[in-house]
Amino acid sequence: MIISGAGQEFIIKDTHRGLYYEDGKLTQVLDAGRYTIPPRNRLFTKLPVVECVLVDVRERELTIKGQEILTADKVAIRVSILVQFRVTDPKSAIHTVDNFEDRLYSDVQLAARRSLASMNLEEILTNRNRLSEDILSDVTESAGSYGVTIRRADVKDLIFPGNLQEIMNRVLAAERHSQAQLVEARTRAEVEQIEANSRAEITRRSAQAKAEARRLREQGDAEATRIQATAETQVYAERVKVAEALEKHPALLRLAELETLRDLAKNSNARLYLGMDKISLASAAQG
């Protein structure tokens, strides 16, 4: 948009910048604000002709539709590309090229052709982002030379020939099926691994429990043996004490014999043989 006319007042919004010309020569770049074009004559002085060109500096979109391009393996595909850009240097955008939008359109179109010409169909299908990245890196520098900054350049659509589209659909279906099988196999393997780990853990804990039970059993047997040995030692010690007492006091032995005889006398079936030693000695002397 060009603003001219002596004495005309105009406003530049934040969304635009103004290129201020005097007699066709750019003198300044105007920011947002209110401005007035001075009159051409003042006190018999001829003033320069003033014009102001408004440049939109908002972010905008440019769509390159239906470009038919050959890939490296000679497959013709149609591609649509969306470019988001903004003018960051109004002076360069107006002075460097005739029309910066047309130039940007051509630059993106050529960048897409160069990128696709270096890629085969399989690469395009498996790495679609590469095309967008190639276009962005290719165009960014050239667009910057005429005051335009590229925010993003994305491939919107890729259209393939009809028969190729059908083949691609079958290939994609096969890939999805193989991926599903891979996920199923991976899941089954993970389940089997978990089950194997569980069985191993159960076996380990069972072995630990058995070992602990055996240890406790052996410990209990050892303790019982120790207690029995202690008891037998105490019994032997008591017997020694009794033997020593009987040896020192024979009357105690006789008393014990009498107590034993008394206990035997209470049993009617018990038979007592007294003085058998003397009888045996007398019979031996007579013989």
* Residues 196, 199, 201, 204, CA torsion sign: negative
Same domain, 66 and 126: yes
Establish how many alpha carbons lie within 13 A of residue 3's alpha carbon, considering only the half-sphere containing its beta carbon. Answer: 20
265 domain residue, yes or no: no
Longest dimension (CA), the chain: 193
Same domain, 132 and 168: no
pLDDT value for 55:
94
Q: Which amino acid is at 176?
A: R
pLDDT of 276 over the 60 cut? no
How many domains, the chain?
3
Same domain, 31 and 90: no
Q: Which amino acid is at 128?
A: R
The residue written with tokens 């020192």 in the block is 248
Question: Whole-angstrom Cα distance, residue 28 to residue 19?
Answer: 6
Higher pLDDT residue, 196 or 46?
A: 196
Same domain, 96 and 170: no
240 domain residue, yes or no: no
Residue 90: other Cβ atoms inside 10 A: 21
Same domain, 68 and 143: yes
Question: Whole-angstrom Cα distance, residue 61 to residue 232?
Answer: 106
Same domain, 132 and 46: no
194 domain residue, yes or no: yes
Same domain, 171 and 152: no
Q: Distance of CA 178 to CAs 126, 173, 189, 191, Å?
A: 15, 9, 16, 20
279 domain residue, yes or no: no
150 domain residue, yes or no: yes
pLDDT band at 283 (very low <50, low <70, confident <90, very high): low
247 domain residue, yes or no: no
| CATH code, 82 | 3.30.479.30
Cβ contacts of 194 within 8 Å, gap of 6 or more: none
Same domain, 12 and 83: no
Higher pLDDT residue, 206 or 250?
A: 206
13 domain residue, yes or no: yes
pLDDT of 281 over the 50 cut? no
Same domain, 128 and 187: no
Angle ∠(200,204,210) on CA atoms, nearest 5:
145
Give residue 219's domain range. 163-227
pLDDT tens digits, 152-173: 988 888 887 766 666 666 667 7
pLDDT of 86 over the 90 cut? yes
DSSP secondary structure letter of residue 39: P
Q: What is the pTM of this model?
A: 0.54
109 domain residue, yes or no: yes
pLDDT band at 143 (very low <50, low <70, confident <90, very high): very high
Same domain, 156 and 66: yes
In percent, how much of the chain has pLDDT > 90? 27
Same domain, 46 and 112: no
Same domain, 52 and 82: no
DSSP secondary structure letter of residue 97: S
Which of 161, 179, 206 terminates a domain? The answer is 161
pLDDT of 96 over the 50 cut? yes
